A and B are shown apart, each in its own frame.
Chain A
Amino acid sequence: MLGSDPATRPLPTTPPLTVAPTPSPRPPGRWTRGHLPGEVGVWVFIVGDMLVFGLFFGVFMIERGADLEGFREGRDSLSTAFGAVNTLLLLLGSILVVLAMRAVREGAPDRASRLILGAMATGALFIVNKGVEYGEKLSAGITPGDGGFYTLFYAFTGIHLLHLLIGMGALVLMRRLAIRTQRRERDVASMESCASYWHLVDLLWVVLFPLLYLVA
């Protein structure tokens, strides 16, 4: 009978491999289990930005150690009220965005929109406050070129102000996504990314305020 003899039996045929075998989905491991609030790329940027500011903080302390007298005079010339009020404004902006994100998840776009507008108002007040402070310093003849404390003051607060402006843009995007009638699957992650970035702006200022206005 054909095939009964091993020497004449036809070779087993295997179906041609046209696509790579699909790996079975692995359950998340202990390092990746949980909910990442936003996109991975945004979080890579946030952590990187925090590290860069960590470097700024270190540079500030080194420069301060080399010129304690100059940094103390610099600090004393600042109005602590400006820094403290701005800290309170950003903290208020952050809690409004926390509440807005909650409203988004509960399917309340109008409430989310109002809360995001409130957060944008705190950002706008921060900018006004910072503008008045810069104006006072510049009119008193204190410029970024003065070296020492003031160069770092203008540099760090200026870079932070740039972050805040980008954060305002993120809030505009977040609001547009929040009030969108037909939400796409990735919109919630995009809104979480915007919210996380806004909190980063708050977090960085929470360190800059004591460093520049209190510790120096």
Chain B
Amino acid sequence: MSILLRQSRVALVVWAGLSVATLVSWQLGTKEGGEPGAGVSAATVAVIVVTFVKVRFIGWHFMEARDAPLLLRLILDAYVVLIGGMLVAMHLLTA
């Protein structure tokens, strides 16, 4: 098992990072204050950005897209940028 853990060090570091990012987002989201319509929340924008960074890491390291053909890598990266960007833009427009 120790060999397995040594060889999977990158994936384990990514997993630990994703778990910590989840806890950080939890704190950021819980602490978000202000009344509806009071303006753009930087914490909310940060939560969305962190979320799509996590999506990119899951795609790259767990789904093994980093070794996949360029076409799939481009599709996943385009998804992260377009959907993440769309959610940030919609938050900015409706906050």
Which residues of A come within 8 Å of B, CB atoms?
28, 30-37, 43, 47, 50-51, 54, 57-58, 61-62, 64-65, 68-69, 71-72, 80, 84, 87-88, 91-92, 94-95, 97-99, 102-103, 106, 108, 111, 192, 196, 199-200, 202-203, 206-207, 209-211, 213-215
**Contact A84 B58, CB 8 Å, known A31-B70, A34-B69:** no
Least Cβ distance of B81 to chain A in Å? 12
A68 to chain B, nearest CB (A): 4
A72, B18: Cβ atoms closer than 8 Å: no
Contact of A207 among B18, B32, B55, B91 (CB under 8 A): B55
Interface size on B, residues (CB 8 A): 50
Report the Cα distance A5→B55, complex, angstroms. 77
Tally inter-chain residue pairs, CB-CB below 8 A.
Answer: 144
Please list the residues of chain B having a beta carbon within 8 angstroms of any beta carbon in chain A: 1, 4, 7-8, 11-12, 15, 18-19, 22-23, 25-26, 28-30, 32, 36-37, 44, 47-48, 50-52, 54-55, 58-59, 61-65, 67-72, 75, 79, 82-83, 86-87, 90-91, 93-94
Q: Which 3 A-B pairs have the closest CB atoms?
A: A214-B29, A65-B94, A68-B36
B75 neighbours in A (Cβ, 8 Å): 47
A35 to B18 CA separation, bound complex (whole angstroms)? 24
